[in-house]
Structure 1
Amino acid sequence: MAASPDTLARVEELTARRLNRTLLARQHLLARSTQTAHDLIHHLVAVQAQESNAPYISLWTRLEAFEKDDLTALLADRRAVRSSILRGTQHIATDDDYPWLRPTVQPVLDRGRQGAFGRVTAGVDPVELAALARKHLTGQTLTRPALARLLAERWPDVEPLALGWSAQCLLPVVHPPPSGTWGRFGATPFVLAEEWLGRPMAAPDAERLVVRYLAAFGPGSARDVQAWSGLTRLREVLERLPLRRYRTPAGVVLYDLPDAPLADEDAPAPVRLVPEFDNLLLAHADRTRVIADAHRRVVITGAVVRPTFLVDGFVRGMWSMTGAGIVLAPFEAITEAARDALTREAAELLRFAGTEGSVSFTAPGH
């Protein structure tokens, strides 16, 4: 039920700048965290991993002491897993979170599979497909193409690609290393999540999902948490939880944990380099708390979300890494102090990546 105008008038209004600083604080982008990579992944719920190098840079830009081997070791030790999770896209979650997180977002994967492959697989019983895929995967690892070929023996008239992707949506499967680790590409391997983690999947828990979202991305509206997770009908979940309420200048109701602090809107925000697909830019329906609409239309085109950099807490340009180094492309003119800080930060990223090269800038707006 929507709040009445009288109720909203009594609720504290949060400015865009205070929402910005609070988001950055909860994302550990105002000050790098001293916690472990495992703990930070847990805090963030799941880290975007559509591109192999992106989760490494997401952690590097948020942690005081992080090296590539830290995440690779977590994946090898099965303390973190890579799988289709939030919005049906590739993320890395901890071993403790995946068993409840994947079942919670399963409706998103079901909806995505139906939208992408429902017509092609119209004659295929999804329950039978999932059961047969589980049988083929039991006790072994198969790439998506290999699993698709086996499934095509049962449904020879169906496009194998649709069968392989359907299995990925219907079953809790994870992609074991070295797939998805720094600099590694190629066919995606599947292994049953229960076998890899040595534990069963848990019951869906939408309330837990909402609470964890607010801790890492709040305050947020019902539309915000739905944009981040891909789930629908979460307002009723928010309404039954004992949450604090705020509002935006436009009157949108924002929910937050009762004891979660708000950052000072004048808190200094250092420059940060954010990788492609980072949830910083994807966790809200209204993204103006971190990126202007005009800039969002340049950064996010279709399914692509480009790497960006922050100046004074907001996205002010994009960056790219090549064999020659890092190129920073500001949308508008930035101060000399910001250029110097970005140069130092980009040089540190080159060191982290183990890449030779220099840092350069394009002209503003190019």
Structure 2
Amino acid sequence: MSDIERPIIRPRRLRTTPAMREMVAETTLRPSQLVLPLFVREGLDNSTAPRPIESMPGVVQHSRDSLRKAVAEAAEAGIRGVMVFGIPERKDALGSGAVDPDGILNVAIGDVVAEVGDAVVVMSDLCLDEFTDHGHCGVLTADGRVDNDATLAAYAEMAVAQAAAGVDLVGPSGMMDGQVAVVRAALDAAGYADTGILAYGAKYASAFFGPFREAVDSSLQGDRRTYQQDPRNALEGVREAVLDVEQGADIVMVKPALAYLDVLRQVRDTVDVPVAAYNVSGEYAMVEAAAANGWIDREPAILETLTAIRRAGADIILTYWAVEAAGLVR
């Protein structure tokens, strides 16, 4: 090759050493950006907990005692957020366990707050699906449809119960129209103006939720396509997120993450509040299964996955790898 033919611009100069690559990296991944979802099951004791979730290797259903240990470990790892899901022993058509101050989710919130205090942002799932015997996210009409407005009343009561338990952020995830406005009004009226809302702004009717249903012992009959969003629609997801911000959401979330990175980017470019993304159970399980079969290198795949979600615009990532990933990025 002659001198004239040699390239003048050589982007590879910025890839020559680990130090160089680190210095010019465009995307950062820090433990404080990660949130650990946790499942607590009523009725488990120290002899039976934690209980493994078969479709999510490494993820468990906790007892109240093991949950406290898990959040302490997360705090020690530098994780600054946990999202708590409750699994009751008994369910009914109205999901009444969700509003019971002595229900598993509300007492678990109190446990977590007592364990970690202000060191970790305590978040809670605000939805009826874990508590209803039909598995839907709301109250049903006589003909089996989800009644949007009757469900809003239940969400308002649930939000106040969680705030009374000490939660920092409630996470309305049922995709009912107007849910953020109703929850915000209920919290303010009850004196919980400082309790924030992490709204599931764009939540799609996804095949990637499958393992999660094992994790929460879902009783779902049918599907959720009349309230969760159509995977074919991106603008709809952005519109929902904007509506949530207008109604008072402090943070909006896109769920799932990997199949909706385009939506995540559009939401990040549109709203002026922090944006979260949920690296959901199916995304987690795919990597774990492929790694277990020797088809991919597990730890680099974890970091590449989470970095992609950050690069697409997520300020916060909910991921079952949170504690492990915190160690890897250090």
Q: Output the TM-score relative to the length of structure 2.
A: 0.25
Q: Output the TM-score relative to the length of structure 1.
A: 0.23
